[in-house]
């Protein structure tokens, strides 16, 4: 039986120095990367960025680089894989998902990711640093009420008792003891903007305007909305969701459930990182889940899918 395949496009957090190596093993994809990421656009050579975590995890570079890495590996893998049934993207990965679905070109997606990062950075205030932090072990419904008392927000819901929260660093420190008292565990993430919270409200309208300029076609594959898990097939829907999700909670649990509901039997995370594949398999063990980062070659990815 041919696998019913979902493609997963990651967000920030899984960057590493070798994140372009698999795609770069394909000469055509390597040539495309040189076109998509010129030094003049990045401000310094790509290899210099990859060797410096301070640069690699900076918001202004991380977002376009993650989208570029996803687009490059998809370019290399597309001729080798069966046609996917749907695509889902996590945070900035939702932009990459619309490229995979054929709604925007890779240069457009990378440009949109860079603009998204710039608009989000404009919402920062030097005297009030922002944070994202993972919380596990507390029911999200109970946690949301506690966070609200400290002007903090659920940014990404991943399970009934796990989420990513965001807000100002000083407010997180005030809430940390209460979260621990409830049995929760906190892990600070290497992200300097409180994405998917109202602190990003100022970025929503200008980004929607940029999306209208770039989106010229409907996606050729259903793309799951990060806000609801709904399968979207119209560019107008994409523009609304991609702009609003900057300042609203991502319901990644709903996206994972939608994969199961739509009969997905295999899911491939296009990397970098493997967090999405791990989360989906933990929630729906009947779905065979892997990340491209787990393979040594592009043919290895193809062979895995052929065995399913």
Q: How many CA atoms lie within 13 A of 258 on its CB side?
A: 24
Mean pLDDT over the full length of the chain: 96
pLDDT category of residue 210 using cuts at 50, 70 and 90: very high
Q: Are residues 203 and 292 in the same domain?
A: yes
CATH number at residue 209: 3.40.366.10
Q: How many CA atoms lie within 13 A of 99 on its CB side?
A: 29
Q: Are residues 106 and 239 in the same domain?
A: yes
User: Which domain does 152 fall in, by range?
Assistant: 130-188
Report the C-alpha gap between 277 and 250 in whole angstroms. 17
pLDDT category of residue 92 using cuts at 50, 70 and 90: very high
Q: Are residues 103 and 207 in the same domain?
A: yes
pLDDT category of residue 285 using cuts at 50, 70 and 90: very high
Residue pLDDT, tens place only, 113-139? 999 999 999 999 999 999 999 999 999
Query: What is the model's pTM?
Result: 0.96
CATH number at residue 134: 3.30.70.250
Q: Are residues 28 and 176 in the same domain?
A: no
pLDDT category of residue 216 using cuts at 50, 70 and 90: confident
- The pLDDT, as a whole number, for residue 153 is 98
Residue pLDDT, tens place only, 159-193? 999 999 999 999 999 999 999 999 999 999 989 99
**The pairing of beta strand 153-159 with beta strand 223-224:** unpaired
In a domain, 193, yes or no: no
Which contacts (CB < 8 Å, 24+ apart) does range 95-98 have? 95/67, 95/242, 96/9, 96/66, 96/67, 96/70, 96/71, 96/270, 97/7, 97/9, 97/223, 97/224, 98/215, 98/219, 98/223, 98/238, 98/242
Q: Are residues 225 and 108 in the same domain?
A: yes
- The pLDDT, as a whole number, for residue 261 is 97
Residue pLDDT, tens place only, 60-79? 999 999 999 999 999 999 99
Interhelix angle 59-77/27-36, rounded to 10 degrees, is: 150
DSSP labels for 64-124?
HHHHHHHHHHHHHHGGGSPPPSEEEE-TTHHHHHHHHTTSS-HHHHHHHHHHHHHHHHTT-
Is 235 within 8 Å of 218 (Cβ atoms)?
Answer: yes
Mean pLDDT, residues 223-252: 98
- The pLDDT, as a whole number, for residue 291 is 97
pLDDT category of residue 3 using cuts at 50, 70 and 90: confident
- The pLDDT, as a whole number, for residue 41 is 85
- The pLDDT, as a whole number, for residue 193 is 97
Q: Are residues 205 and 224 in the same domain?
A: yes
Phi, psi of 268 (to 5 degrees): -120, 120
Q: Are residues 108 and 205 in the same domain?
A: yes
């Amino acid at each position: 039986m041919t696998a019913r395949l979902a493609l997963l496009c990651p967000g920030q957090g899984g960057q590493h120095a070798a994140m372009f190596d698999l795609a770069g093993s394909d000469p055509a994809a390597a040539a495309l990367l040189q076109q998509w990421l010129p030094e003049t656009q990045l401000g310094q050579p790509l290899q210099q960025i990859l060797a410096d975590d301070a640069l690699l995890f900076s918001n202004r570079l991380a977002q376009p680089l993650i989208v570029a890495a996803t687009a490059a590996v998809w370019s290399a893998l597309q001729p080798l894989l069966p046609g996917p049934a749907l695509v889902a993207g996590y945070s900035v990965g939702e932009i990459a998902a619309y490229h995979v679905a054929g709604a925007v070109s890779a240069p457009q997606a990378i440009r949109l990711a860079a603009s998204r990062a710039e608009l989000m950075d404009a919402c920062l205030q030097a005297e009030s640093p922002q944070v994202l932090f993972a919380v596990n072990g507390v029911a999200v419904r109970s946690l949301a009420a506690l966070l609200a008392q400290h002007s903090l927000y659920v940014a990404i819901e991943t399970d009934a008792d796990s989420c990513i929260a965001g807000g100002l660093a000083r407010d997180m420190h005030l809430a940390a003891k209460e979260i621990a008292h409830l049995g929760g565990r906190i892990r600070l993430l290497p992200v300097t903007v409180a994405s998917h919270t109202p602190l990003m409200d100022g970025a929503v309208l200008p980004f929607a305007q940029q999306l209208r300029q770039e989106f010229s076609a409907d996606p050729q594959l259903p793309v799951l909305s990060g806000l609801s898990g709904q399968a979207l097939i119209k560019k107008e829907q994409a523009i609304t969701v991609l702009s609003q999700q900057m300042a609203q909670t991502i319901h990644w649990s709903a996206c994972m459930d939608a994969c199961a509901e739509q009969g997905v039997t295999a899911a491939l995370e296009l990397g970098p990182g493997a967090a999405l594949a791990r989360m989906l398999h933990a929630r729906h063990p009947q779905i065979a889940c892997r990340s491209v980062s787990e393979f040594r070659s592009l043919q290895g990815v193809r062979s895995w899918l052929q065995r399913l």
